[in-house]
Amino acid sequence: MSVASAVQNPAPFLNVSFYRFLDISDQERPIWRASLKERALRHGLKGTILLAPEGINGFLSGAPEELRAFLEELRSSYPGLEGLDAKESFSSDQPFRRMLVKLKKEIITMGVPLIRPKEHTGPRVEPETLKEWLDSGEEVVLVDTRNDYEYKLGSFKDAKLLDLKSFREFPDRLKEHTPEWKNKRVVMFCTGGIRCEKATALAEDYGFKNVWQLEGGILRYFEKVGGAHWNGECFVFDHRVALDPELKETSTAQCFECRAVLTQDEQRPGGHVCQKTA
């Protein structure tokens, strides 16, 4: 039993994130868009699903039985989504306002179109194995592939932070560190795993010899082993803003105007100067 599932979750809303890299043709995407939205609304769900030529990426919330039924429909009705994995957490409130299905150029944008995770990506390390490596003091270079406003709230102890404003900056930042890291054991991580699919593939193109991606990202790590070797919270892309290692919503907020992440101190009068209204 996972750490998260060992704690009872009486909260009424189940929240899931999922993705799958697969080819979806120009003809299929509008059809998928219409049917996915119809099914999601029929199940009373809210959130966002992105569809692109390279795959699908979703963040949804709803009643547990309805959301799990929708996921089973995805797995059984859409070619290529068999066995689709979804990271779960619970909340007392609905973290989304509406249900959107969007057509995009990419489901995660790094700006290197030759990187195609469906064809090649770096190997995965399970959360339990990474914890064992860290528990034993083995040398591991932990690389946070998220943006600066995300890791502001928390990251692995001693993780390498790349000062990213956008994932598009990742290729240049990684190139700067390639001579230093390419012959070491490197584990890359992000919120749910999707960015590391591209990040590890790029690292191997850069000549990294022993690069891994954390299976399921930070959310799966919290689910499986809790907060071991983690400091702080994890930013999530919905109105909860951040989760603790027990996958519970924290008191962290986000500025409505400039979208800056606000700690408790910054939420006090005078603690935050909004860049849009200053």
Domain ranges of the chain: 13-103, 111-278
**Where do the DSSP E strands lie in 42-148?**
46-52, 55-62, 87-91, 99-103, 124-125, 141-144
Report the CATH architecture of 13-103. 2-Layer Sandwich (3.30)
pLDDT confidence tier of residue 271, bands split at 50, 70 and 90: confident
Q: Which of 190, 196, 255, 274 is catalytic?
A: 190
Respond yes or no: is residue 190 known to be catalytic.
yes
Bridge-based pairing state of the strands 99-103 and 46-52: parallel
pTM: 0.89
| CATH level 3 topology of 111-278 | Oxidized Rhodanese; domain 1 (3.40.250)
* Beta sheet of 124-125, edge-to-edge order: 124-125, 210-214, 185-189, 141-144, 160-161
Q: Is the model's pLDDT at 7 over the cut of 70?
A: no
Judge contact between 238 and 259, C-beta under 8 A: no
Question: Given pLDDT bands bounded at 50, 70 and 90, which one contains residue 267?
Answer: confident
3-state secondary structure of 27: coil
Instruction: Identify the band that residue 4 occupies on the pLDDT scale cut at 50, 70 and 90.
Output: very low
